[in-house]
Chains A and B, each alone.
Chain A
Amino acid sequence: MNCSYINNLLRIALCSLLLLVPCSLPAMDADYCLMCHGDADIVSGPLLIEGSTFDTTAHAMLGCSTCHDAIGDEHPNGDSELSRATCLDCHDHLGQEYMMTDHANYATCGDCHNPHEVRAMDAMAGYDMNDKCFKCHEAPAMVDLHNEWLPQANLHIAKLPCITCHTGSEGYEIVLNIAAKQDDRFLSRYELPGYQTLQEISGKAGILSLIDTDGDNFITLRELKGFNRNPEYRDLRLAGTMVPSDVSHDLSTLDNRYDCTFCHVSGPESLQTSFLAIPNRDGGYQRIPVEQGAVLEALYGTPDFYMVGTTRSASMNIIGLIIICGGLVMPFGHGLLRFLTRKNRQH
């Protein structure tokens, strides 16, 4: 009887363990692998995985053995050809898109995306998206190439991800980043600071509290204005960029992107959707939604985000119209009196 009781207890314990295993297996699996693959003294080159970076990728939840499933007991001996899943096993739609492009003849998925470091598009600042492109397409050469037809090519390439135009995504949205002055020099450049720098500026309240003062994870126009006007943050600026709203690997240029008015048009009707990208401890970014129309605000909403023809301010248009109409007062008013009194000058 004792034996049966113990067996039952063992069965219950085993079942409980099995229920827990699916949740923790990938982490256990990764931790186990990283004991060697996270140690630079044991492995090197592509075999060396930065554990903290890998943990922030969407692939981390799959664990190592989901992709590297044929690892024998004798590993690392005797299995020099490590099995690996192909990207297309999961990303078949994006893969098919990509395989139709010229890029597929020159670069595999892994040439651009390290599967142990890759982040989702909404975990990126926007500006960093071009790092992959610049591996092959050097920025100065791209500026020269685009200068042949694109006004202000250097500005476009510096401020936009390549995939905003070279994409299958029809729509785009605005991502705002907090940029910080690099030093105390008068005309020092503003660059995107890392998590640590912004954390030191914001203190215990957290980086988001620099702008989201009411802590509701939503940025209002009032909060944006408050941030831009706050003298304490005079060395911080909001820098904006446009990113595609959908992930696409069709890297051909959409025809409408050659038409400047695809972006530079519409005023208050387009470019309403924007997000604030806040750097995370892990090196990625978290997007916080911003009230509609932020980039259209005349001066204090986003003073460093301006697109001619697009983000024009309605209030400035009205002031401008009043000024121009003021210039018509003299010819019309004086002209009318001149006509009415014309007989006085007939001498």
Chain B
Amino acid sequence: MSENKKVYLQPTPVRIWHWLNAFGIITLAVSGAQIRFPEYITLLGNYKSVIYLHNTAGFVVAISFTFWFFYYVFIARSMANLYVPKVDELKTGLLRQIKFYFLTYFLGWENPHHPTPRNKFNPMQKSAYLAIMFVLMPLVSLTGIFMTNVEPLRGVIVMMGGLKVLMNFHFLLACCLIAFLPTHMYLTTLGHTPLEHIKTMWTGWEEGAEEVSSPESIGTVSTR
């Protein structure tokens, strides 16, 4: 049995982390672009300031990522459930979701995935976030930390192929993350209304979500 309800989908710590992360990543992208192309981009002041800003934003994002990781693993204890696709999700769910986004959505069909606090992400989101949060983010943070500590970590950097290899790796990882931003922002507009998902990440409540009542459901459900 199902009915339209408001579901408390995004707890406060997750929302704080999300917006801190969003602000940090945009700052990193703009300051990183100025660091790489200083003769073309002067948006954030002089080069020294932009270096300090980039380093600071980088550390803030890396620390917030650590908090996010520990929150989901040790406090919410739902990291694996939320972010790691299950076998059947990879076998059929992924294809079903791809079919929805690239075909049946245009025909006006409903999204086959209905978010719940224990299953917030569809198989495509899970796969994307798995790559972003467990591969790209740790690697871009790690390469950034190496680059702000070149002298003490020179031995490791040489072992990895040298400073230039490290820098180019950091740059390409950052480009992958930046490439994800427009897709991410666009997909947030695919709710029942264009701003629905954005409001959810601001208030925590998902409107119009279908919550199937079950004993496993740990999320707060409201009919207000």
Contacts of A66 in B (CB 8 A): none
- Residues of B174-191 contacting chain A, CB below 8 A: 174-176, 178-183, 185-187
Which residue of A189, A299, A309, A330 contacts B36 across the interface (Cβ within 8 Å)? A309
Contacts of A149 in B (CB 8 A): 48
Contacts of A281 in B (CB 8 A): none
Give the interface centre of B148, B161, B182 by most chain A CB atoms within 10 Å.
B182
A148 to chain B: closest CB distance in Å? 11
A303 touching B179 in the complex, CB below 8 Å, given contacts A316-B171, A345-B108: no
B46 near A311 (CB under 8 angstroms)?
no
Cα distance, A345 to B108, chains bound together (Å) = 4
A303 touching B165 in the complex, CB below 8 Å, given contacts A323-B176, A327-B181, A334-B186: yes
- Residues of A244-280 contacting chain B, CB below 8 A: 259-261, 264-267
Cα distance, A321 to B37, chains bound together (Å) = 13
Closest A residue, CB atoms, query B102: A334
CB of B202 within 8 Å of the partner chain = no
Closest B residue, CB atoms, query A185: B155
A327 near B158 (CB under 8 angstroms)?
no
B101 near A334 (CB under 8 angstroms)?
yes
- Residues of B45-66 contacting chain A, CB below 8 A: 46-48, 51-52, 55
B200 to chain A: closest CB distance in Å? 20
B38 near A261 (CB under 8 angstroms)?
yes
Which residue of A298, A321, A328, A331 contacts B164 across the interface (Cβ within 8 Å)? A298
Binary CB contact string for chain A from 317 to 347 against chain B (1 if under 8 A, 0 otherwise): 1011101111110110011011001001111
Cα distance, A303 to B168, chains bound together (Å) = 10
SS of B interface (majority): helix
A151 near B165 (CB under 8 angstroms)?
no
Q: Which size bracket describes the interface of B in this complex?
A: 35 or more
Closest B residue, CB atoms, query A298: B168
Contacts of A267 in B (CB 8 A): 39
Contacts of B37 in A (CB 8 A): 309, 312
A331 near B183 (CB under 8 angstroms)?
yes
Contacts of B186 in A (CB 8 A): 330-331, 334-335
A344 near B106 (CB under 8 angstroms)?
yes
A305 touching B51 in the complex, CB below 8 Å, given contacts A316-B171, A347-B108: no
Contacts of B181 in A (CB 8 A): 327
Binary CB contact string for chain A from 147 to 161 against chain B (1 if under 8 A, 0 otherwise): 001111011001000
Contacts of B171 in A (CB 8 A): 316, 320
Contacts of B23 in A (CB 8 A): none
Contacts of A188 in B (CB 8 A): 155
Cα distance, A237 to B47, chains bound together (Å) = 30
Cβ contacts A to B, 7 pairs, < 8 Å: A151-B52, A303-B161, A303-B162, A312-B36, A317-B36, A320-B174, A341-B108
The interface of chain A, by Cβ under 8 A from chain B, is 149-152, 154-155, 158, 186-190, 237, 259-261, 264-267, 298-299, 302-306, 308-309, 311-313, 316-317, 319-321, 323-328, 330-331, 334-335, 337-338, 341, 344-347
